[in-house]
Structure 1
Amino acid sequence: MAPDKNRATAAAILPLVGGPDNITSIAHCMTRLRIGLRDRSLVQDEALKAVPAVMGVVDDETYQIVLGPGTVARVTPEFEALVAEHRSPTPPTSPPPTPTPSHSVTAEELADRGAALKEARKARNATPVKLFLRRVANIFVPLIPALIGCGIIAGLGGVLANTGWLPAVVPALAAMASGFMSLIAVFVGYNTAKEFGGTPILGGAVAAVIVFPGVAKIDAFGQHLSPGQGGVLGALAAAYLAVRVERLCRKWVPEAVDALVTPTVTVLVSGLVTLFGLMFVAGEVSAAIGSSATWLLANGGALAGLVLGGLFLPLVMLGLHQALIPIHTTLIEQNGYTVLLPILAMAGAGQVGAAIAVYCRLPHNRSLRTTIKSALPAGFLGVGEPLIYGVSLPLGRPFVTACVGGAAGGAFVGLFNQLGVAFGSTAIGPSGWALFPLLDGKSGMGPTLAIYAGGLAVGYLAGFAATYFFGFTGPMLTDLNTDPVPTSATPTTDPDKEPALA
């Protein structure tokens, strides 16, 4: 997408979310533009979905516009610039209502159901545990682009090493791929302090103790510490402790000496607790996570894959999948890849298969078929939100049968892991076909790629078959297999303009 098109997309979105004065915060994750809103009623959901670059919307703690990886990173700065450029000096406390444009609303019943389900999920997710998991996710999500880039470079270096090509380049690629991972604890500490309201650089400073080579000279619990012991979990705990210590200091230390005393006490107290407690405890927890994942897939891979692949979509809907992010990162630190992600990616395959079955079963519903045609390219590349919120979840049964497809694909991948072909992803974030460049394993790239491709195929087929034969009741087919759009109406989504993005 060219820079002018990125700005055009941002300019198209801005008035549909109530204009610059309705925006309180702007951020983006891997695929979504996340904005805080003063007045949710000013957002024009259907018009937003009709913007060519928009793949879908999610109404959560922040309003989330799905643009896809790559695109979201380019549109967000343009959006921020437009908001800053056009924001009023003093934003009105009660902005005047923006009239909703007149347009054809397709699949109205499904849209209503989808909106109701989103509202119900939003209410369920507003629990202390789930809000905490979101904050943990906010710590790790900004690290994903570096994990992806370094993971692909590591894979390229492995290919060159195995083929003997460009031997002088291999060490350079290894350095680029490993540099970030060797210091990831520092970035986790920085983001943790930022997320929980502390001084980010102090969080990074305390977490840096974990990766400092000199810790090998320190005895704790009767053994020498190892640089990196405790990994990202230790960094998260250390930085969170630093935030608590810093807050206490800000409360009790006199203002005249705050600039000297608070940083010193924060790093000193948090650093000592990290060295003589947290590193050991976090190291034991990290080791337990790694050994448990290895044992689980080695001894019950097929069953474990079936459960993980089948339950991942519901976990996403409940917001509990965010608890897996530190686990993925820990496994990548320990082994170079996470064995869980290829299995969890099968949930997306089941979703794609289910959507294709819906397309085949409802030949007369032009509106829904248009939505599916627009969202399928993104679904194949691992972006499932448009299919989940626009198709399977509002329909109900197809969401369950999509989970069946994910379970079948997960069981397939887990079975081969149980048979000794262990592999995983060197980064988190991508899924579907986009995961191929990040795969790595001990049995070589040939078997690894073949098994992952086989799992996707099984997920597609099982999701399709389960949905085609069991995804609809007779009354559902009668109600849905009609064309809700008059022949002269213009569809709100143009499939030819929808980008095929991850």
Structure 2
Amino acid sequence: MDYSKTAAAVLKGVGGEDNVLSLVHCATRLRFVIRDDAKVDKAAVKAAPGVIATAEAGGQYQVVIGNEVPEVFAAISTISKLGGGSHGDGPSGATSGAPKGNPLNRFIAMISAIFTPLLWALAGTGLLKAFLAAAVTFGWLDNTTTTYTILNALSDAFINFLPLALAITAAKYFNAAQFTSLAIAGAFVYPSIVALNGVPDITFFGIPVTMVSYVSSVIPIIVIVWLQSHAERFLYAKLPSAIRRFVTPMLLVLILVPLTFLLIGPLSNLVSGGLAGGISWVFTAVPWLGGAIMGGLWQVFVIFGLHWGFVPIMTAELQTGGYVFLIAPLFAAVLAQAAAVTGVWVRTKDKNLKSLAAPAALSGFLAGVTEPAIYGVNLPLKRPFVYGVIGGVLGGGLISAGGIASNAFVLPSGLAIPALLSTGNLVLLFIGLAVAIIVPFLLTVIVGFKDPVAEPAAPAEGTDVDVLSPLDGTAIALTEVADAAFAGGTLGKGVAIIPRVGALYAPFDAVVVAAFPTGHAIGLRHADGAEALIHIGIDTVKLAGQHFTVKVDKGQQVKAGDLLVEFDVAAITAAGYDVTTPVIITNPKKYPTIAAMASGPVAHGDSLFLAIAQEERALV
């Protein structure tokens, strides 16, 4: 992937930097908060190199890139002011990046923005903790040694001081002063404050304090930084400029930290304890049901971006009990989709699909990143995605029936399985994992799916292709088209047609290699290798499919004269668009010469031009 080209194409497609309120990224997606949805060219974003899919969820416009999303994000940061910058010692006054939509959308987007920068550090240290716990379980390492003490500190430090990291990301999201947020969070995990946890008769100026643990906590610091952001703006507006920069943080620390100890901390502890207790009850009373639900629906949550809403629940569960029951069945969900895409790789005869399925399977099994598998293969083919859900239900139910929980916050993947080895019935764990992998793989390979048409055999050398007119209208030279890319031959050579009737027909026997959902363009490949692009109108992609009806699907075989697209010439013209339709050959290395070009009135089925093959031209 050329990251700079992908970044430029995506940024242009979303309407440019000025149309973006905020941008963050997660493991596989760019997450935009858009100012004006009407300025987003969704077809252009989807067509950008490296883009797997797009989704609109959680008040965000999400662009699925896959494993290389950090590099694309960095490339966008170099060509714009998006994605970078931080707040220093005072309110920034920046435009809020809060998403639009209902409260659930805003909540999920907030959690995504706050936790996204921490994801890989959380997952990496969590994986180290899982390996360390497995080493102790299997007797490879004595937990009384100083070696264990050092390794445990390396793996446990980040989540232990999680409030400090959340202070930074929450301050950025709420436009608060980051170092004031750090000062507040530092008080939460200060050693003498941590030592007060569980000590009776604590008071603050005579007011009783119920001290709870803020180690690894999530809710208190997010709530306090939100309050800080509002209080800061108030104090900066009221205090004299000579003193406000140091008096503001002093007052905020003096007021907000005791407020947390007196009220917010105990309330959040009740909420966290209630959530963790409820989850623990479900996974104790009917564990198979909880596991089946999470295993079956997790990838659906991922598609709609709802999975971020579970992150604070998982961290609360870990803080309260030291284990996360919610994570265990997610291993089945992830590995099941990876197994389904592996089945596609085994069964399909389509070379392009194989090239997508292989790395997607590897990414899913090893890293637990399933978006390339879901968006690139399983979901478009439909059945493999369903098979993956079935595997997730069965495997998740078995894993949770065994009382399995994760001892660390990890991304479910093959590499992270050691996180599950400290609790429960390990026999049921491995049976559940095996079922999650084997069932969708066999269903995909045996029951199957609708396989796209395989690529045609290599074209015969020296075979010319007679391209028939796909329209009723008037043929004109390509140089007369009011678009520099077409007129200059940059995209290929051919002829343009001004259509009289809104019906587009196949110009030769072919396979449909591109059928844009917007209906504005069709790509075809002749059995002899000629590749043609028919682009209905100029800039008509902006109509987003309005006035177009596509009659064929990608991969479909068509005969010359078959109807491909219907479109409303009058409506498109009335909308201000030029309906001139270029018909071009897009592989000029094999077909470098266009001859016998028609001009004037043509009917569909008439000869439009002759594409001369390279070897034939050489003989001439």
Structure 1 gap segments, 5+ residues each: 1-7, 85-123, 491-502
Q: Is the 8 A contact 1:26 1:33 kept in 2?
A: yes
Distance 1:440 1:134, change over 3 A: farther
CA distance in 1, matches of 2:286, 2:336: 21
Q: Tell me if 1:31 matches 2:28.
A: yes
Give, in angstroms, the shift of residue 415 of structure 1: 1.2
Distance 1:131 1:343, change over 3 A: same
Distance 1:17 1:311, change over 3 A: closer
Give, in angstroms, the shift of residue 172 of structure 1: 1.4
- Segment drifting more, 298-307 vs 399-408: 399-408
Q: Tell me if 1:201 matches 2:201.
A: no
CA distance in 2, matches of 1:298, 1:244: 42
Q: Tell me if 1:140 matches 2:115.
A: yes
Q: Which residue of 1 aligns with 2:227?
A: 241
CA distance in 2, matches of 1:383, 1:489: 37
Q: Which residue of 2 aligns with 1:106?
A: none
Distance 1:126 1:406, change over 3 A: farther
> In structure 1, which of residues 427, 432, 438 is the aligned counterpart of residue 413 of structure 2?
432
- Segment drifting more, 381-390 vs 219-228: 219-228
Q: Which residue of 2 aligns with 1:89?
A: none
- TM-score norm. by structure 2 comes to 0.59
Give, in angstroms, the shift of residue 313 of structure 1: 1.9
Distance 1:210 1:128, change over 3 A: same
CA distance in 1, matches of 2:66, 2:303: 19
Distance 1:251 1:379, change over 3 A: same
Q: Tell me if 1:11 matches 2:4.
A: yes
User: After superposition, what is the alpha-carbon deviation per residue over 1:428-485, rounded to whole angstroms, capped at 9, x for unaligned?
Assistant: 3x22213235445246xxx65x65543332112333455567776xxxx4x9556545
Q: Tell me if 1:319 matches 2:301.
A: no
Structure 2 gap segments, 5+ residues each: 82-98, 456-510, 514-524, 532-620
Corresponding residue SS for 2:214: coil
Give, in angstroms, the shift of residue 355 of structure 1: 3.2
Give, in angstroms, the shift of residue 130 of structure 1: 1.2
| 1:462 aligned partner, one-letter code | V
CA distance in 2, matches of 1:451, 1:201: 48
Mapping 1:201-220, distance limit 5 Å: 201-215=179-193, 216=196, 218-219=202-203
The size of the alignment, in residue pairs, is 422
Q: Is the 8 A contact 1:231 1:330 kept in 2?
A: yes
Give, in angstroms, the shift of residue 328 of structure 1: 1.6
TM-align CA RMSD = 3.7
Distance 1:399 1:214, change over 3 A: same
Distance 1:154 1:402, change over 3 A: closer
Instruction: Give the fraction of aligned pairs with identical amino acids, expressed as a percent.
Output: 25
| 1:200 aligned partner, one-letter code | Q
Q: Is the 8 A contact 1:26 1:80 kept in 2?
A: no
CA distance in 2, matches of 1:344, 1:188: 24
Mapping 1:372-451, distance limit 5 Å: 372-381=357-366, 382-417=368-403, 422-428=404-410, 430-442=411-423, 448=426, 451=428
Give, in angstroms, the shift of residue 408 of structure 1: 0.9
Q: Tell me if 1:291 matches 2:291.
A: no
CA distance in 2, matches of 1:156, 1:388: 28
Q: Which residue of 1 aligns with 2:129?
A: 154
Q: Is the 8 A contact 2:160 2:215 kept in 1?
A: no
Give, in angstroms, the shift of residue 413 of structure 1: 0.5
CA distance in 2, matches of 1:240, 1:318: 26
Q: Between Structure 1 and Structure 2, whose CA radius of gyration is higher?
A: 2
Q: Which residue of 2 aligns with 1:458?
A: 435
Distance 1:291 1:15, change over 3 A: closer
Q: Compare the two structures and name the one with the higher strand fraction.
A: 2
Distance 1:63 1:300, change over 3 A: closer
CA distance in 2, matches of 1:307, 1:372: 26
CA distance in 1, matches of 2:80, 2:234: 36
Corresponding residue SS for 2:415: helix
CA distance in 2, matches of 1:194, 1:240: 10
User: After superposition, what is the alpha-carbon deviation per residue over 1:21-60, rounded to whole angstroms, capped at 9, x for unaligned?
Assistant: 94466644333455678964394534513xxxx7x34344
CA distance in 2, matches of 1:440, 1:148: 17
Q: Which residue of 1 aligns with 2:161?
A: 183
Give, in angstroms, the shift of residue 329 of structure 1: 1.6
Corresponding residue SS for 1:169: helix
Q: Compare the two structures and name the one with the higher helix fraction.
A: 1
CA distance in 2, matches of 1:223, 1:246: 26
CA distance in 2, matches of 1:239, 1:58: 32
- TM-score norm. by structure 1 comes to 0.72
CA distance in 1, matches of 2:224, 2:148: 35
> In structure 2, which of residues 262, 282, 287 is the aligned counterpart of residue 301 of structure 1?
287
Mapping 1:321-360, distance limit 5 Å: 321-358=307-344
Corresponding residue SS for 1:423: coil
Q: Is the 8 A contact 1:34 1:63 kept in 2?
A: yes
Q: Is the 8 A contact 1:413 1:455 kept in 2?
A: yes
Q: Is the 8 A contact 1:311 1:403 kept in 2?
A: yes
Distance 1:36 1:10, change over 3 A: farther
CA distance in 1, matches of 2:409, 2:440: 26
CA distance in 2, matches of 1:176, 1:320: 31
Q: Is the 8 A contact 2:131 2:419 kept in 1?
A: no
